[in-house]
Amino acid sequence: MRFRLANEKLYVFSYFIGLIAFGSAALKLPGAWGGAGRLSAVDAFFTATSAVCVTGLVTVDTAAFTRFGQSIIMILIQMGGLGLVSFAAVYIATPRSRVSLVNRNIIRDLSVDEIEHNPRRIVGNVVLLTLLIELAGWALMYRGFKAEGSRFPVFEAAFHSISAFCNAGFSTRSEGLKTLLHDHLSTGTIMALVVLGGIGFTVLQDLGRVATRARRRLSYHTRAVLVSTAVLLVGAMTFYYLAERKGAYSGLDESGKLMAAAFQAVTPRTAGFDTISQSALGGASIAFTMILMFIGASPGSTGGGVKTTTVFVALAAAFRNPEAGSAISIGSRQLNPPLLVRAFSILVKAMALVLFSWLALAWTEAEAIASGATSLGVLLFEAVSAFGTVGLSLGVTPDLGIASKIILAATMFAGRVGLFAMAMPRRAEAIERWANFPDASLMIG
């Protein structure tokens, strides 16, 4: 059983490592880079890792890549965003291929039993939903980019549609989306794509089945995700509006302030786009952004972070204060002890990972900190952004040393792949114990 569990995680790591290796080599091909000088191996590796892990942190300007190079990045984003499910879809489409028990279990980790349990149907629904949503996003943004006077509206709309739905945050424009602040069609479409990509395929599928009356009511998972997402979005928008209306948003009219606050509420949920520079925000807004980046999107989605349901379960356990071995009742359902332990386990591992990354960056950037070129707070923002696969930055990423870039790349990989692998439920059958160790006597709190 232990060997099979190791194989599941090996399957996950192999897919992403192989994709990163392919992307790093492809971006070094002649004709992929159009900027000054040559693209270094470290920058090619960092860009490929950021694209596959759908992060959006960049050490070189994405606009400096040729159309061929940007196409490679777009493919890496799509394959990384769909992750295991997209790989399984290709595997299933291969003639005479079969879905193994290991692959079947991994695919089922992205679903909920009360919604769907057939792996082939899960993959088919994911691929179909992805194509339909990204195509709709492309059509809407094409109109916006064309009206704005873009030279390549077809490609730009396709790139940003895929990047937004996969919560990647890459843009073909050097200034990002700052020029689109007053283009409500384009920014509204991007926000919708980010939210749809971040709530998870299981939720989208459940909503579709209820809308077509294939199901009578939404699953508990869907309701928890939608409530958590709504609370975070509305709460964050209100916070940013109140905190920045006389600060970073002071030069905007009332509708512009509301749109900027709404966009800022959406983008830390692992999207990484910005219409207002993050360095222009106040200290409270930057700190709040780090909290949102750490929480991230929802399970089974294209986004990262510890996930909304993890925080939902942890908060429920913290404030309901369950007795030993007891479950928590919320909304006519019980949250059982194994689920509570799993949520707290993910939170602790995630905080340890961010702390380790931050300390490592502080070590490698000691001279920059001493000279005032950067600060511990800026490096913490970078570490949280990399872990949450968000891609927002205070502008320091391109100036980091080689060691720091590798640390951030490793953090992106761990945040995207490592946490998912650690969160995989053990499927080994429980073995009846004939004897247990005595209970520990330990004071807590």
* Three-state SS sequence of 83-143: HHHHHHHHHHHCCCCCCCHHHHHHHHCCCCCCCCCCHHHHHHHHHHHHHHHHHHHHHHHHH
The tokens describing 251, both together, are 């030069």
Instruction: Fill in the amino acid letter for 135.
Output: L
Q: What is the mean pLDDT of residues 60-64?
A: 93
17 has pLDDT over 70: yes
Determine the pLDDT at residue 227. Answer: 92
pTM: 0.86
439 has pLDDT over 70: no
Confidence band (pLDDT; 50, 70, 90) for 206?
Answer: confident
Closest of 243, 397, 378, 225 to residue 296, by C-alpha: 225
Confidence band (pLDDT; 50, 70, 90) for 149?
Answer: confident
Residue bearing the bigger pLDDT, 25 or 423: 25
Confidence band (pLDDT; 50, 70, 90) for 9?
Answer: low
435 has pLDDT over 70: no
Residue tagged 């990647």 (tokens): 168
Does some domain include residue 352?
yes
Does some domain include residue 355?
yes
Does some domain include residue 66?
yes
Does some domain include residue 112?
yes
**Interatomic CA distance for residues 311 and 347, integer angstroms:** 8
Does some domain include residue 85?
yes
108 has pLDDT over 80: no
The tokens describing 250, both together, are 């002071």
Determine the pLDDT at residue 65. Answer: 96
Please report which residue ranges of 166-219 form alpha helices under DSSP H.
184-199, 201-211
Residue bearing the bigger pLDDT, 354 or 201: 354
427 has pLDDT over 60: no
Q: What is the mean pLDDT of residues 325-351?
A: 81
Q: What is the mean pLDDT of residues 388-412?
A: 92
Instruction: Fill in the amino acid letter for 105.
Output: N
Does some domain include residue 445?
no
Q: Which of 58-62, 399-403, 416-420 has the lowest mean pLDDT?
A: 416-420
What total number of domains does the chain contain? 1
Does some domain include residue 436?
no
- Residue 89's domain comprises 2-423
104 has pLDDT over 60: no
The pLDDT > 70 percentage for the chain reads 81
Does some domain include residue 70?
yes
441 has pLDDT over 60: no
Confidence band (pLDDT; 50, 70, 90) for 366?
Answer: very high
Determine the pLDDT at residue 320. Answer: 73
